[in-house]
Amino acid sequence: MSNSLQSKLKKYSILAGSAIAATTTKADIVYTDINDVTFSNNGQFYDLDLNNDGTPDFKLDITKINNIISSYYYSSYSFYIVGVKYNAVALQPLNTNEAVVSGGLYIDVLNQNTPINQAANWNANQNNLGYFLSYYYSNYWSNSNSATSNGPWNNTQNKYIGLKLKVSGNTYYGWVRLDVANLYDNFTVKDYAFQDAPNIPIKAGDQGNINADIAINVNGIDVANNGDASDMQVSFTKATDETKVSSYRLMIVKASQAGTFGINDAKNVLPVSYMVHTPNGSNFQANLASNFTDTDGDPIVQNIAYKVFVLSVPDGINATAYQLSSQQNTVTLTIPQGTDETEHLELHIYSSGKTIFIDNSGYEFNGKYADIINIQGQIVETIQLQQGLNSNNSPQLSNGIYCIKVRGTNVQATKVFLNE
């Protein structure tokens, strides 16, 4: 989610700063997710700013009373206690805003996908007393008591209040999701949303089109010299929240077309031209199949610049909108011309484990310097060539692909692979 804001938590300044909210806007629905926060002490309240404009629109509060009214001896053998216990959770609409009620004193409890529109039973509560979600009342005398529990919210989880927000003469519909404990001992605020278009209904729990999380660090590199798509290794870092992703589609786009390649283009790519990866909690790396094609259906060939894209497919529950990775560096497959040249000039290069060997069987390169270059173009080590077998000194070179360039010459060796 894109933007952070501070949830309004108040109880004489307690709980300040304890919840951070994230707001997402998609398809005119503004959805705000907060860290779930629970209120269980008498007098605690939550100022709900439905449209996040800094002005509270509704107030949720809890009242808890557990008092001994009196105690006395009725006779020399009996001691009596008279007391009362009272728990109540209430909502108060502010600034002429309204809530869906079920008649009488109570806020209606809505299930997910219940329509929230003008046809609902609305009330603005102009007397500012608030509406009960539910309340529990018990009075006791000695060891006997009578109890009353009223309202539809007792011991409920993931239920919704329908809300009507009035701003500058316009009406907006929204919801807030709550849990209410047994006997109204506490309540928990979880998230809320409203329809940003005036007079447009919303369904309870509708978050709008929430994006699947994006794959990052998408990359392609040239790792072999087979002359086909298998020369390309592709990789990406998994989405931060893979619960929103049902699968990844990895595809290769000609760099000349990448600037105009968007989500709809990616969604319309034929299955033969993308690789499917199912989220597994790990980052991804693989070599393309030799017959892999680009998004035009053309074979992937040498000397054409490409860009790699990854389309995150939503799971349909936690997310409903596709997400496309951003453009990364281009990759162009080539077969270095230095391969045959080095062998012709009696310079043979190979690797074993973590060591790169340069066998200098001639005399032309004696005393010259050979740079070991990684795929980022950085010189990671330099070897001064002597007659015979030369090798790198550092055992710390990581697995990967390296090129060897002899200074002062046009000699570049074929790619060298280092593996454990």
Per run of 10 residues, the mean pLDDT along the chain (length 420 residues) is 31 32 59 93 95 94 75 48 73 92 85 95 68 65 58 92 96 97 91 94 90 93 84 94 96 96 95 97 94 96 93 89 90 64 64 78 83 79 89 75 74 58
Q: Give the whole-angstrom CA distance, residue 332 versus residue 56.
A: 56
* pLDDT computed for residue 338 by the predictor: 40
The CATH number of domain 216-332 is 2.60.40.10: yes
* pLDDT computed for residue 25 by the predictor: 44
Domain ranges of the chain: 3-203, 216-332, 338-418
Q: Give the whole-angstrom CA distance, residue 237 versus residue 209.
A: 23
For 338-418, CATH gives 2.60.40.3080
- The answer to whether the Cα torsion of 96, 99, 103, 106 is positive or negative is negative
* pLDDT computed for residue 410 by the predictor: 61
Q: Find the angle CA(268)-CA(272)-CA(277) to the nearest 5 degrees.
A: 85
* pLDDT computed for residue 331 by the predictor: 92
| Residue of 96, 71, 91, 95 whose CA lies nearest to 81 | 71
Q: How far from 245 is each of 263, 309, 316, CA to CA, in Å?
A: 15, 16, 9
